[in-house]
Structure formats: C-alpha cells, structure tokens
Structure 1
Amino acid sequence: MIKVSRASALLVTGLLVTGLALPGLAEETATAESRTPRPVISEFLSADPAVQRQFSGVIRGQDVSALAFQTSGRLATLDVEAGERVTKGQVLATLDQITLAQDVDVAEAAVSAAQAQADFALSQYERVETLLARDVATTAQIEAARANRIATAAKALSARADLAQAEEAARYGQLVAPRDGIILSTDVEPGTLVSPGVGVLEMADPLGREAIIDVPESFAQVIPENAAFIVQHRAIGVPPVSARLTLMEPIADTSLETRRLRLALIDPPEDYRIGTLISARYDSDAAPVTTLPKTAIAGSDAAPGVWRVAASDGARHVVFTPVELGAEIGDRVVITQGVEPGTEIVTRGVHMLQDGQEIGERQP
C-alpha cells in the first residue's frame, strides 16, 4: 500500500485542476489572438520601374528601297553620297556608255551576218527546189537545203533579239531617282561590274521616319500592342516627340536576349533626320505597366486574386480581389486588370488570410 502525504496530495490535486483548466485557457488565448490585428507585409501597386528605362536607338527611313540597274555593265559614275537629298528624276549613277555602245555595234554586226546567211540559205533552197521539179536534184538535197534554211533563219531571229537587248541596255544605262528621297547608303564603287537587279544604293522617303531601338526580351513581353513611347533627341534644346510601336521583330537576338522595336514618329521636327541618334522610353502615363511579387498572388490558377487592404471605422482589413495576370518578369508578375495603381496589396502570408480579416497598421 502506497502512502501519499498531504503535500503530495495537494500537488497532485493542483495538477489535476490545472489540467482541467487548460482547454478553457486555450480557447481564451485563441479568442484573444483572433481579436489581435494580424501583421502582414504589403506594398502599394505602382508602375514597374523597369519600364522607365531609356533605350538608345537611331532614326531610320520608314520607306526604304534598294535601287538597281535593269541591265548589266560596269559602273562608270556614282554621283551621290550617303545622307544626300535627291529629287525625282535625278541621275544617281551611270554605266559605261562606251561599253554599251560597243555591245550595240557587235549585236548589229551579228544581225547582218546572220541575215546574210539566212538569205543565202533561202536562195539555195529555192534553187534545189527548182532542180527537183526537173528531176535533176535528189530528195536528200532538198531536205538538206530545207534544214539549212530553217537553221539560218533561227540564227537571224536570235541575233535580232540580242540587238534589241543591247539597245534596251543602252537606254537603261542611267539610274534615276524614282521619287524625292534621301540616300542612305551606296553599296558599290565606280568600276564595279554590276548585274541586273543587284542593289547599287538605298534610298528612303524623307517624310516617313521611324526610331529603331533594341530592348531586353523581358521588357518586350510586358509592353502592350501599339505602346506609346517618348523619343528624345541627343542634342540639347531639341524637344522630345511622341512615337507609337508599329512592329516588334518576331525573333529575339539570342546572343543579347534583345528584341528590335520600330517606332513611328508622330509629327517629328526637321531635327530628327535619318541617321540621328536618339533615346526612347516607354510612356507609362499613357498605359502604366504594374507588377506585384509572385508571393502576392492568392486564389487558384483558374481564378487568381490578391488581398487588397481597405480601411473602415478606423480599422484596416483585407478584401480578396480577383485579378488578371500578364507576363512574368523574374520574381514578379504583371497585373493587367483588377486593381488600380496606388492600391495597397498584401505581398506575404496571403494564404493565411480570410476575407474581411483585420490587419495591423502599416509601418514606415
């Protein structure tokens, strides 16, 4: 039989009483915690600073065409240089006219010789035909005369075609400007043997100008179609101009991870000449690009949302707000719709919140 002292009995009894009181104490603690505003980490939704970067570029002609001769020959003169303005009908380059004239003379001589052979073959055929009617010539002779007549007639026809080609080449010995424009580049030097259709120089329309910039792949994924840009001239005192995205190259430069953008300038002044160096930045005021950390996204993949911070009756609480997501940029994601810039959004602990739950004050 085990004897228990009074002190021991009181100790055991106290433990029992304490043990019986634990569940009630836990409930009181849980109630107190539920009344305590939950601390969270948040940030105000704003335009992503990445889109505020400036990108270097150059002004190019919007309508660029390569000019070429329609005939082959040796380039005799090239009367324009890169950057020069030209007018419609102005002679830009010429081929060696002496060589072209010689080609015409050679072709004319070939026609005369071929025609003489054709005439002689025809007379030979007529003579053999007369002899055959008198039973003096043989069938083999008339067949040979006929074949010779046909062959020489074909040679004469070919020679006349060569003459027409030489005469046409002589007429196309000058390369003229099809319209007013600016010469962008010259690709050959005098003395070079050029072929038909091979570009000799590039000319651009002076009125149609665009800015060419290269941007990171991550930036290209964020900006919307027809995005607005602000283009700034490198010279001091020249005002900036507005531009609109017209084309994004479909293939990225894998070595630099960049994409080329073409921006159409809107009413640019004369200072923005073709070849001018510029810098361009995305006009976030026209269409702000807002991002949040991926940790701020709650809900499900099919129905994503964020916890928006609202205030009422002097307290702060969270409200679940559905959003539409865009491209991911590193550890952040673009918010395309659902919340406006300036809204406070919870960015950490989003999976532990409940709609309407009170949260603590934002600390500076």
Structure 2
Amino acid sequence: MIKPMRLLAVMLVFSGLGQMGLAQSDMGETPALRPVISEFVSTDPVVKRQYSGVIRGQDVTALAFQTSGRLATLNVAAGDRVTKGQVLATLDQITLAQDVAVAEAAVSGVQAQAEFAQTQYERVSALVARNVATTAQLEAARANRDATAAKLESVRADLAQTTEAARYGSLVAPRDGIVLSTSVDPGTLVSPGVSVMEIADPLGREAIIDVPASVAAIMPEGAGFVVRHRSGGVAPVMARLSVIEPVADTSLETRRLRLMLIAPPEDYRIGTLITAAYNRGAAPAMTLPISAIAGTQDSPGVWRVTPDRMVTFVPVTLGAIVGDRVVISAGLSENDEIVVRGVHALEDGQKVGERLE
C-alpha cells in the first residue's frame, strides 16, 4: 500500500514530465527562421565618378598632297580657323618645275630615237624589196621601231603625270573648319596620300573620355552624361554615349568613350578640357553578385525580401557579366533587399531572419 506522501510525489513527477513534453511539442511546431545574407540594390558606385576628357571635332578630315615633293610653306597651325579654298600649305614649285623640265627633255630624246628607228625600218624594208638586205635585218629594224615607240608612250605618260603633279603643289581647305594638328614641317619631303594635317568641323563636337573597362562593360546603350567645363562659370551640358571604342588600352585597362554633346555653347571649343559624370537619372546601372541569381537560364530571377522578412521570387532581365557580378537590366528598383547567398534553398513566402552583413 502506497503512503499518501509517496503518492503525491509520484503524481508531481508525472505531472512535470507531461508539462515538459508539452513544451517540447510546442517548440517543435515553431519553424526556425532561415538566416540570410542579402544586399541592397543600388546603382553601381563606379559609375558615379567623374572622368576627365577633352572636346574634339566630330567630323575630322586628314588632308594630304596628291603628289610628292618638299614642303615649302605651312601657312596654318593647330587651333587656326580656315575657310573653304584657303591655301594651307605648298610644295617647292622650283622642284616641281624641274621635274616637268626633265620629263619634257626625256620625251624629246625618246621621240628623236623613235623617228630614227622608223626611218631605219623604212630603209631596211626598201633594201629587202631589192634583195639587198636580209629578212633578219628587217625583223631587227622592226623590233627597234616598236621598242622605241613603246618607250615614247611611257615618257609621254611621265610628262603628263609630272605636269598634273605641278598643278597639285598647293594644299587647299576643302571646307570651313579648324586645324586640329599638323604633322610635318617646312623642308620635309612628303609623299602622296600621307597626312599633312587634320581639320575638323567647328560645329560638330564630341567629348572623349577614358573609363575603366569594367565601367564600359555595364554602360547601357545611349547612356546619358553630364559634361562640365574645367573653367568656372560655364554651365554644364548634357551628352549621350555614341560609341565605345572597340580596342581597349591593355596597359591601363581602360576603354575610350565618345559622347555626343547636346546643343553645346561656344565655350565648349575643340581642345577644351572637361569632366564627365554618368547621369544616374538617365538609365541607372544595377549589379548583383552572380550567386544571387536563381531560376533557370531562360527565366532568371532573384529572391527579394519584403519588409516583414518574407522572400518572394522576382523575374529579372540580365545584362553583361562584369567579374563576379551581373548587370540587372530590368525587374528591380533601387534599395530593394535581395538575397545573395543560399538562394536555391528558399521557397516563395518563406520567413527569413535578419540580414547578416
């Protein structure tokens, strides 16, 4: 027979065990919050920098002589404005005249030889008809006549070429413009087609800047820029990306960008030093780690964290890959919180823990 005190102790033990089992059951029903590592979306910080550059002519023309000769005069320098038809440089006219004289003398000499060869041929032909000369002599006379006639045609062509060259002894401006640079000095022997100077349309201007290759890779087509004059008091102008040069500078790991200026004032002259900054309002460039991308190759997406710490799958459009990051072209907004680690173990609507830095 169990005594009353011992019975009370046994009841208390079973009661305590029951409460412990109930507490453990309740704890088992509470799901654990998954810790996540996330990142807030923002425009890529590297595109917020300012890049130094220069204003250059958009329509640049290289000018060259059409004949060879020694440069006698150079009438312009870099920065000069020129008008259509203006004489920019001349070749040594004395040398050109001497070339014509030499060519004319060559024509006279060969013409005399050709006339003599023709006379010889006619004389040998008459002798052959009277059986005084042989057929071999006649063939030699004919060959000499034909050779001198061909040589006469050649020297006449040389004379025509030198005469034409003498007319191209002056280099004239094909249109109004501004001289960007000159590449020769008076006294230099120039060849046909070799650039002597470059001129540009003073109205067609563009900004040239060099940016890191990683920035060029995420730059959207037609990206907007704000271009500022180095001198104070000059209003900035808007510009739009027109060309990314296909060849990179491997030593500096940069790419050259050409920006089309939108209605630039006269202050932005060719050769002016400027700074250009990416216009975030035009088309923000957002990037995320590649590890944040979930879904399939055809339907990529990311896990966005809501304010109540739940994740939802958001389809995105991917752009260029830059290192270990990828450009997000569409689907997200700035300041969205995106899970960047463990994305393949999440489910839509799942509760996550606080963000771990």
TM-score (norm: length of structure 1): 0.85
Aligned-partner Cα distance in 1 for 2:329–2:197:
46
How far the C-alpha of 1:195 sits from its partner, in A, is 1.0
The aligned counterpart of 1:319 is 312
Matched, 1:336 2:329: yes
- Per-residue CA distance 1:121-144 (angstroms, 9 max, x = gap): 212221222222222222222222
Matching residue of 1:29: 27
Inter-partner Cα distance in structure 1 for 2:317 and 2:123: 96
- Partner Cα separation in structure 1 for residue 129 and residue 354 of structure 2: 125
SS in 1 for 2:119: helix
Aligned counterpart for 1:211 among listed residues 192, 207, 210? 207
Listed as ranges, the matches of 1:226-305 within 5 Å are: 226-294=222-290, 296-299=292-295, 303-305=299-301
In the TM superposition, residue 303 of structure 1 has moved relative to its aligned partner by: 4.1
CA distance in structure 2 between the partners assigned to 1:169 and 1:151 by the alignment: 27
Superposed displacement of residue 297, structure 1: 4.1
Task: Select which of 80, 84, 90 maps to 1:84.
Answer: 80
For structure 1, the 5+ residue unaligned runs are 1-5
String of CA shifts for 1:21-44, please: whole Å, max 9, x gaps.
76643331133456xx77766554
Instruction: Determine the C-alpha separation between the residues in 2 that align with 1:281 and 1:260.
Output: 14
Percent of paired sites with the same residue: 68
Instruction: Evaluate the alpha carbon distance shift between residue 301 and residue 133 of structure 1 in structure 2; reply closer, same or farther with a 3 A threshold.
Output: closer
* Cα distance change on mapping 1:351 and 1:140 into 2, 3 Å: closer
Letter in 2 for 1:52: K
| Code of the aligned partner of 2:132 | V
What is the Cα deviation at residue 323 of structure 1? 2.1
What is the one-letter code of the residue matched to 2:148? Answer: T
Q: 1:25 to 1:153 in 2, by over 3 A?
A: same
Specify which of 352, 355, 364 is matched with residue 348 of structure 2. 355
Which structure 2 residues correspond to residues 126-275 of structure 1 after superposition, within 5 A? 126-275=122-271
Tell me whether 87-96 or 118-127 shows the greater mean CA deviation: 118-127
Cα distance in 1 for partners of 2:290, 2:70 equals 65
Q: How many residues align?
A: 349
Amino acid aligned to 2:332: V
**SS at structure 2 position matched to 1:272:** coil
Which deviates more, 280-289 or 341-350? 341-350
Letter in 1 for 2:248: A
User: RMSD of the TM alignment (CA)?
Assistant: 3.0
Which structure 2 residue ranges, 5 or more long, are not aligned? none
